[in-house]
Structure 1
Amino acid sequence: MLIRVRRLAARPVVLWAAFLATHLWLGYVGLTHPNLPFGDVTNVYLPWVQQSLDGFRLGIDGPWVYPILAFLPMLASMVLGPGLYGIGWMIMVTIANAAIFAFLITRSRPGTADGELRLTAAWWWLAFLLLLGPVSVGRIDIFTVDLVIAGLLVIRNRPAVAGVLLGLATWVKVWPAALIAAGIIAMRRRLRVAVGAVITLVGVAAGALAFGAGMNAFSFVSEQTGRGMQVESPASSLWMWLAFAGDHSRVYYDHEILTFQVTGPGSALAAKLMTPLLVVAVAAILVLAFFVVRSGAASTVVLPPLALALVTALIVFNKVGSPQFMVWLSAPIILGIVTQGRRFFVPAITAFVMAGLTQIIYPIAYDEVLGLDPLMLTVLTLRNLLTVCLLVLAVMMLWQSRKTSREVVEDAGGLFRSTFRGTVAGR
């Protein structure tokens, strides 16, 4: 019976039917749920596009909160016109995700361990998107995730291409820059990763300057500095509970940033400290990875936990706690499943739980979160604690990577050993 199920799950028609059903469901819920999961798409992205088409180009003629390439998928979503912008957005997301999904399953060789791992990663991704809900595809972040997944999957054989893809992703949202650093530290052909990334980063900047952007091309850096503590961020859990207790803390809506934040004793100081703490955490992880690589660990063993540790640190130490940040986790976990199999079982399951809890938080019960319902505050706190636990787990896995490649393969175990030997031997 199990063999039949596995054979059925490996059939392309079943895989693509599941892919389309997943995206149809996410699009439907995103456009119809009363809490407006696609609110950023229809109420923020669309006016930005219309403003730019009317002559005031965001990021060029004036400052903008996002890097310049984030405008491209927003503009492309006008394919059906402004009245159907949400559907146009979903079409663009589906096309981008389909390219990554196809890369996973078409390179899967039936009957091989490599094929099993790629199919597992493909099914895991669909389940993760469903658990996270419509916000997983209703923000610009999904396009960065697609680029990062592609970059991480090709980095071993095409390091320069990976650098280009990660550089492009960084010009959509900033967080993939940490994975450029990860690739440079972990990979043997690190110079090619660096050259591909630098050429891309400089090339996009030069293009923006040629269009007359000036310093507006880099305004996304300064636009984020004035933010307070967003209600969903891990560090904000303290003030959410203080607000529930009535201890001089409260939730409020920031009309400039267009998000709900929390304020209370010490929250302003915490907001100022979070960015330096984030920088320190990322730097510490990169230094740890440097010494692990120097110990002789294979790049294919180091890179997945290093990428996961960096991405999770960017969430844990972020004063912004947007629910779509959880979709970032899919990139390093897909890489981990494809290259390390069962070693990434616990992170993959933990991410499932975090995704499900996040969908409960937003959009299902967001009103209750803002209303400081104690049950929902418990759910929010649990999700944030799991994020911290995942960071600790990823750092532990990174440290354990200093063991010999053979020992790590034995830890992965069973079905996936042959694949692991192949990837390590290819180091």
Structure 2
Amino acid sequence: MTAPDAPAAVVRGRPFGARRTALWSAFGLVHALLILLCFVSPGWPLGDVEQVYRSWAEGAASGRFQVGIDTPFVYPILAFGPIILALAFGPALYAATWLGIVTLLDAAAFALLLRRPGEAATRAAWWWLGFLLLLGPVALARIDSVTVPIVIVALLLLESRPLWGAALLTIATWVKVWPFAAVAALVVASRDRGRVLGTAAGTSAVIVLIALILGSGLTVFSFVTEQTGRGIQIESSVGLAWMWQAAAGLPGSFLYYDHEILTYQVTGPGIDLAIVLMTPLLALAVVAVLLLGWRAMRDGAGFDRLYPPLLLALVLTLIVFNKVGSPQFMGWLVAPVIFGLLVRPGAWRTPAVLVAVLAGLTQLIYPHLYDWLLLAHPAMVLLLTLRNLLEVVLLGWAIREIWRSPRPDYRTGARRLTPDPKE
């Protein structure tokens, strides 16, 4: 049998079934290890789940209050779905049920990824597993962990069912705001932005209407004001200036725990002005990236060249210009990288490596060495600085790719994945 006659089920000498078995075995091992790390790692990685999410779920189950309906909610209203679902087997098993839900969602996205033909999907799957190991327990133990696989599924549907993909991205946005970046990038890069906008608006209208029927009133939008009123979190890029002042022992600069937001923040001279300015600065940065993407689209950039770096740039903008700097934000980078590895494998090797390094640095910072960061130890502040600077480098790469996207693509390994405007 000659090489062209080789069966499609054999890729580079290895049976397709064997590759799938290896990948699923690795998936199980990686998630088992992450679940173990959630329970044994320092810094209480399950703190948000066991302390915050469970209290919200128990409040609703007892009829005392429901966040997002009766009281303000720091997250969009659909975040309450997985939070209450994790109470299905009782408070004692809340954390275990939560981890099971996230693992099942990851498995669904992983299965859909493996249905794609070719080596690109296989390599993207291996990369995802490596990323999860490098990021550590926060990859499973935050509300963001629910949105990541939903966004991956949505992006994988863009080729065959673009409006279903847009609807899923909108649903994910009503769990945690960051998938808005995927919707906005889709509106700019898609040839059928009118239907995408209509789908997103219609899906959002249904969600808000249901919340209003349940009696939320304007509380359904409380996540907007809850976030804008926050201080500067110690891991954020903007917080580095005061973290270095605290590390140097300068008067007036120190770390503190905000009992209302339940997070560590930093304060110091001039920080009140930074708190006021960061939200409009974030909005301006997002608009600037979208305008850059619009310019590229008008100059003839194809969807496959424009959408992945535009999505990555928007996600990184939400991270770099944010007052908050939580470790789980690194999980947001998974979906753009997987999509990029599918459509332009050669071009996306560098960002894939950079994102993996970001994940590893993040796990070092939290949970393993977090106590040293809380002391503003200079070595830890330096490590945090390197991590945050690497985010800026990656943002620069994404912006360069957006700018160059109208040019012909001469890289090898690129493949078309342009959504068909017709369902």
Same fold (TM over 0.5): yes
Q: Distance in 1 between matches of 2:143 and 2:13?
A: 35
Q: Distance in 2 between matches of 1:99 and 1:423?
A: 21
Aligned-residue offset at 1:75: 1.3
**Sequence identity percentage:** 49
Q: Could you tell me which residue of structure 1 aligns to residue 83 of structure 2?
A: 74
Whether 1:211 aligns to 2:214 is yes
Change in Cα spacing, 1:298 to 1:47, as seen in structure 2 (3 Å) is same
2:37 to 29, 42, 55: 29
Change in Cα spacing, 1:197 to 1:373, as seen in structure 2 (3 Å) is same
Whether 1:57 aligns to 2:56 is no
Change in Cα spacing, 1:209 to 1:425, as seen in structure 2 (3 Å) is closer
**Aligned 8 A contact 1:77 1:85 in 2:** yes
Whether 1:186 aligns to 2:189 is yes
Q: Distance in 2 between matches of 1:327 and 1:25?
A: 17
Q: Map Cα deviations across residues 99-129 of structure 1 (whole Å, 9 max, x no partner).
A: 000000023x3xxxxx111111111111111
Letter in 2 for 1:42: E
Q: Map Cα deviations across residues 312-338 of structure 1 (whole Å, 9 max, x no partner).
A: 000000000000000000011111001
**Aligned 8 A contact 2:112 2:156 in 1:** no
Q: Could you tell me which residue of structure 2 aligns to residue 387 of structure 1?
A: 391
Change in Cα spacing, 1:256 to 1:14, as seen in structure 2 (3 Å) is same
Q: Could you tell me which residue of structure 1 aligns to residue 318 of structure 2?
A: 314
Q: Distance in 1 between matches of 2:91 and 2:195?
A: 42
Aligned-residue offset at 1:225: 2.0
Q: Could you tell me which residue of structure 2 aligns to residue 42 of structure 1?
A: 50
Q: Could you tell me which residue of structure 2 aligns to residue 106 of structure 1?
A: 115
- Residue segments in structure 2 that go unaligned for 5+ positions in a row: 1-10
**Aligned 8 A contact 1:230 1:236 in 2:** yes
Q: Map Cα deviations across residues 3-48 of structure 1 (whole Å, 9 max, x no partner).
A: 8796689622111111111111111111222311111001110011
Q: Distance in 1 between matches of 2:362 and 2:13?
A: 30
Letter in 1 for 2:194: L
Q: Could you tell me which residue of structure 2 aligns to residue 402 of structure 1?
A: 406
Q: Distance in 2 between matches of 1:327 and 1:346?
A: 17
Q: Could you tell me which residue of structure 1 aligns to residue 127 of structure 2?
A: 124
Length-normalised TM-score, structure 1? 0.93
Letter in 1 for 2:133: L
Change in Cα spacing, 1:305 to 1:6, as seen in structure 2 (3 Å) is farther
Change in Cα spacing, 1:190 to 1:425, as seen in structure 2 (3 Å) is closer
Letter in 2 for 1:351: V
Q: Map Cα deviations across residues 384-424 of structure 1 (whole Å, 9 max, x no partner).
A: 000111111110011110102xxx1x22x2xx24xx2x446
Letter in 2 for 1:14: A
Letter in 1 for 2:312: L
Q: Distance in 1 between matches of 2:280 and 2:156?
A: 31
| More divergent stretch after superposition (302-311 vs 52-61) | 52-61
Q: Equivalent residues in 2 for 1:7-406 (5 A)?
A: 11-55=19-63, 56-107=65-116, 109=117, 115-248=118-251, 249-404=253-408
Counting helix residues as a fraction of each chain, which structure ranks higher?
1
Change in Cα spacing, 1:426 to 1:6, as seen in structure 2 (3 Å) is farther
Letter in 2 for 1:88: T
- Residue 352 of structure 2 aligns to a residue whose secondary structure is helix
Where in structure 1 do 4 or more consecutive aligned residues deviate above 6 Å? 3-6, 424-427
**Aligned 8 A contact 2:158 2:419 in 1:** no
**Aligned 8 A contact 1:159 1:189 in 2:** no
Letter in 2 for 1:58: V
Length-normalised TM-score, structure 2? 0.93
Q: Distance in 1 between matches of 2:208 and 2:300?
A: 37
Change in Cα spacing, 1:37 to 1:188, as seen in structure 2 (3 Å) is same
Aligned-residue offset at 1:157: 2.8
